[in-house]
């Protein structure tokens, strides 16, 4: 635990971060602070801006206003970048074996060749994928692919891992396997920020809850308090199951899921 607190990228702070696109405000002056403890679940209806927020935290998107602070500074060096890992909703794997996918990530991270093999094998074994090491990654099942994405993130030894609705496309059995995999991160002291719109999953996993709706961060409370006594009416409605989609679902989804390169270019540094 104390080792995590000395991580150069924590605490991760957002200060009045906004993202405006096509005249629409998709993230509205979000401020938050992530310390090193446990699993923070990012909850909210579809189109609330959860994926956008994760990408801003990770550094994939530059905000239109406000700033993102990693530890003491707002600059994101290569070293710091390497301490943040992200797993996307649909796993993006290269056309090569499962093992080779992890090896590639290690190579990009600058890990010396001698050590790559061992680290990759360990990561696969930890997520029960070692028997699939030589299999082409793209013929694995959805759940196996997502576990592979997690193994890849694990091998990079990040301080923070962002998970963008990692089980929304999976069946219950695979979902359980992935949730167990996420446990490993938490057990190793890695800060986990996970977006989900699945209430039951949130109840199972959350230590902390960030609740968003319509691009606004409405609540940041410990899990127990959030589920028992939500402070905002939107949160209450969401917990009842009344609030399913937010104001700009289509626009936000388009931006998140397709990530058209020009838009990305425009939004990035």
Partner 1 sequence: MRITRIGRFTTLIGILMLAMSSAAVAAGGKFITLASTTSTQNSGLFDYLLPKFTEKTGVEVHVVAVGTGQALELGRRGDADVLLVHAPPAEKKFVNNGYGIDRRLVMYNDFVIVGPDSDPAGVAKADSAVKAFQMIASAKAPFASRGDDSGTNKKELQIWKAAGIKPSGSWYRELGSGMGATLNTAAGMDAYTLTDRGTWISFNNRQNLKILHEGDKILFNQYGSILVNPAKHKGLKTDLARVWHNWITSDEGQKVIASYRLKGQQLFFPDAR
Partner 2 sequence: MMNVSYRSFRSIGGGVMHDVFPAAASLILGADPKLLGIVLLSLRISLTAVFIATLIGLPMGAALALYRFPGRSGAVVVLNALMGLPPVVAGLIIYLTLSRAGPLGSLGLLFTPTAMIVAQALIVLPIVAALTRQVIADLWEEYREQLESLGSSRLRAIPTLLWDARFSLITTVLAGFGRAAAEVGAVLIVGGNISGYTRVMTTAIALETSKGDLGLALALGVILIGLIMLVNGIAYGVGSVARRYYA
Residues of the shown chain interacting with partner 2 in the complex, contacts defined by CB under 8 A: 58, 60, 78, 81-82, 85-86, 88, 92, 94-96, 104-105, 108-109, 136, 138-139, 156, 259, 261, 264-265
Could you say which of partner 1, partner 2, none residue 220 binds, taking C-beta under 5 to 8 angstroms by partner kind?
none
**How far, in Å, CA of 160 to CA of 178, rounded?**
17
How near is the Cβ of 47 to partner 2 at its closest, in Å? 19
Nearest to 129 by CA among 156, 166, 154: 154
Binding to partner 1 by residue 96, rule CB under 8 A? yes
Bridge partner residues of 44 (DSSP): none
Nearer to partner 2, 237 or 264 (CB): 264
Q: Is 15 exposed, middle or buried (0-12, 13-18, 19+ CB in 10 A)?
A: middle
Bridge partner residues of 213 (DSSP): 216
Could you say which of partner 2, partner 1, none residue 69 binds, taking C-beta under 5 to 8 angstroms by partner kind?
none
How near is the Cβ of 204 to partner 2 at its closest, in Å? 26
Binding to partner 1 by residue 100, rule CB under 8 A? yes
Could you say which of partner 2, partner 1, none residue 118 binds, taking C-beta under 5 to 8 angstroms by partner kind?
none
Nearest to 35 by CA among 56, 13, 59, 57: 13
Nearer to partner 1, 103 or 239 (CB): 103
Tokens at 76, concatenated: 């994101």
Cis peptide bond upstream of 11, omega within 30: yes
Interface residue list for partner 1 (CB under 8 A): 96, 100, 103
């Amino acid at each position: 635990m104390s080792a995590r607190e000395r991580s150069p990228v924590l605490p991760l702070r957002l200060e009045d971060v906004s993202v405006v696109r096509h005249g629409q405000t998709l993230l509205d002056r979000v401020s938050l602070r992530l310390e090193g403890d446990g699993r923070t679940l990012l909850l909210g209806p579809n189109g609330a801006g959860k994926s956008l927020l994760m990408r801003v935290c990770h550094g994939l998107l530059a905000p239109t206003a406000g700033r993102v602070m990693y530890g003491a500074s707002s600059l994101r060096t290569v070293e710091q970048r390497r301490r943040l890992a992200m797993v996307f909703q649909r796993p993006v794997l290269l056309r090569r074996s499962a093992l080779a996918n992890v090896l590639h990530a290690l190579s990009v991270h600058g890990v010396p060749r001698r050590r790559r093999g061992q680290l990759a094998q360990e990561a696969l074994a930890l997520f029960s994928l070692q028997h699939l090491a030589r299999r082409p990654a793209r013929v694995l099942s959805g759940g196996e692919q997502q576990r592979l994405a997690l193994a890849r993130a694990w091998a990079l030894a990040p301080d923070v891992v962002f998970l963008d609705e990692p089980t929304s496309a999976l069946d219950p059995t695979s979902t359980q396997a992935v949730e167990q995999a996420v446990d490993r991160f938490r057990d190793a002291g890695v800060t986990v920020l996970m977006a989900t719109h699945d209430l039951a999953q949130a109840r199972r996993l959350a230590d902390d809850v960030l609740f968003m709706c319509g691009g606004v961060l409405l609540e940041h409370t410990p899990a127990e308090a959030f589920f028992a006594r939500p402070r905002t009416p939107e949160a209450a409605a969401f917990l009842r199951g009344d609030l399913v989609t937010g104001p700009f679902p289509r626009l936000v989804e388009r931006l998140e899921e397709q990530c058209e390169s020009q838009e990305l270019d425009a939004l990035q540094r």
